[in-house]
Structure 1
């Protein structure tokens, strides 16, 4: 028998469940994979690539030699499973394989779209259009962490199924699970690579900020150095001493000229050294 239902409707299939499986399903939260004599219970948190901000609902898949049941935590996950399995008519092993293959069908494109979004954000950072780039990068990193955990749990499930320790799957069934395991591994690697890419983007962003700060500090340092001799003159003529040049007609203009000359000489010197 094959059936899709909510957790609350488990009483409909309870007579067909093993006592161990029924007890496990009544005491949630569930583990990611439970394999026992006569049945397998697979549990994962579904990540909806079309609504990333949505909370990940739990889906449990129970199957034995005669039955295959999909138990969903909420109506969104129930509708998703029904949509993926609509029009499918396979034996349990093949139906399980086609369900997961359809579930992961567009995930590669989703990761490629994420890569494009990160690249566009990086380009905006380079162009110094940084007002909203940093919050977006943090959002992408958080979502990719969820994706990484999602593919990680699926990979663990497929790997254990391919091992077939309870001999519940046929040789063809283990082969199909191996295919699913390889697909989950590729998606997991893609999510990890994108998180590494985001880390590199953040490092580049920080380097760009440091560069701008260093340029600003350099400008302040050069300006301070240019006007430092004038500060010396101010301190000199601020002393309470009778200086001879104060009694000459051209003493004040000479001091002004010397000040201007010092500024010009320092600016020429700094420009030659490419400090300004």
Structure 2
């Protein structure tokens, strides 16, 4: 017999994280999450490869900084105050394109807890450098992954920025497949017996819908970001094509998430319909029982009156009343069966 306790909404996220091997503080998928080292983090491109540097390169570098470090080191840059303002909001995506630089933020939902945790990432991109604002170890892990997976020829700063964006969604389809597996399993259970489902099934479905809706907003905001980045002059034709590829991936993820959101709504509708059918059957049975006993109630009420009936003194009146009650009951049952009421 199948066990249904894993559908309890209270432990759903824990089981999801175990299924996809995620950490609560991880925004994207890593084979092994590395702790962020202390001190300044610099990356540069050498021999068409991204490498980590111990010191700040003269030009063409990527740097990960905290909010305080950015304010102290780069507070005099154009629009640095605007970047810090949106970064501190930590709730919405924003991007501003200028003649020789791009500044913005995007909010990454933690894939282990989509609704509970988000990480805000800020960026200041020019033709020669990328400044990344991140208080966590997420971007450090992204860049470390990139140093181990060198896939792009003619790598430059703008390529690195697009690769960072691409890493944000590189394994998201796996997460959506897990949602799909859970919804498929719930659909199978619905086809068996609705009474075996957990009592909090509706809240479980609503939790899924909220998580999927949050992911839909995330993917749509990435589409908006790409549209804005395409207007910048700091990206060449090759990078623009990679941006378009990234935009296509985000669009497909949005479409898949929207489909799962609709499937979750359909499951809720089916569940509610089954509950209504079950309640209707119960009410139908109660109505039939009430109807069967209504003539008997009439007889009981009739002979329960404090009035002397003519047949009271007849010795066969009692068994005749019993037989009449049984006959009325049998006739009613036969009529109900003929009408297919049960």
Task: Name the TM-score, length of structure 1 as normaliser.
Answer: 0.90
In structure 2, the residue matched to 1:26 is 84
Q: C-alpha separation between the residues in 2 aligned to 1:255 and 1:152? A: 77
> 1:52: Cα distance to partner?
3.8
SS of the residue corresponding to residue 2 of structure 1 reads: strand
- Residue in structure 2 matched with residue 261 of structure 1 by the alignment: 327
| 8 Å Cα contact 2:180/2:260 also seen in 1 | yes
Gaps of 5+ in 1: none
Measure, in 1, the Cα distance between the counterparts of 2:330 and 2:144.
78
What stretches of structure 1 move > 6 A for 4+ residues in a row? none
Partner Cα distance (2:141, 2:112) in 1: 11
- Give 1:242's aligned residue: 308
- Tell me which residue corresponds to 1:177: 243
Instruction: Give the Cα–Cα distance (whole angstroms) in 2 for the partners of residues 80 and 23 of structure 1.
Output: 27
| Cα displacement string for residues 7-36 of structure 1 (whole angstroms, at most 9, x for unaligned residues) | 222146417x7322x121332327511112
* Residue in structure 1 matched with residue 156 of structure 2 by the alignment: 91
- Are 1:146 and 2:214 matched, yes or no? yes
Which residue matches 1:110? 175
Matched, 1:3 2:63: yes
Deviation of 1:199 after TM superposition, in Å, equals 0.6
| Distance apart, 1:200 and its partner CA | 0.5
Flag the structure with higher helix content. Answer: 1
TM-align CA RMSD: 2.1
C-alpha offsets along residues 75-131 of structure 1, whole Å, 9 cap, x if unaligned?
243444344443467311111122222221111121111111111122223322211
Shift in CA distance, 134/83, structure 1 to aligned 2, threshold 3 Å: farther
How many angstroms does 1:173 deviate by? Answer: 2.0
C-alpha distance 210-76 of structure 1, shift in aligned 2 (>3 A): farther
Classify the secondary structure of the residue corresponding to 1:60.
Answer: strand
Secondary structure at the aligned position of 2:102 is classed as strand
How far apart, CA to CA, are the structure 2 residues paired with 1:252 and 1:83? 95
Normalised by the size of structure 2, how large is the TM-score?
Answer: 0.74
Give secondary structure in 2 for the equivalent of 1:37.
coil
Q: Aligned equivalents of 1:34 and 1:186: distance in 2?
A: 25
Paired residue secondary structure (1:125): helix
Report the number of matched residues: 271
- In the alignment, does 2:229 pair up with 1:161? yes
Match of 1:130 in 2: 197
Asked if the contact 2:93/2:221 (under 8 Å) is kept, the reply is: no
1:58 to 120, 133, 142: 120
CA contact (8 A) 1:151 1:184 kept: yes
Give a deviation string over 1:214-235, Cα, whole Å, max 9, x none.
0000000110111111111122
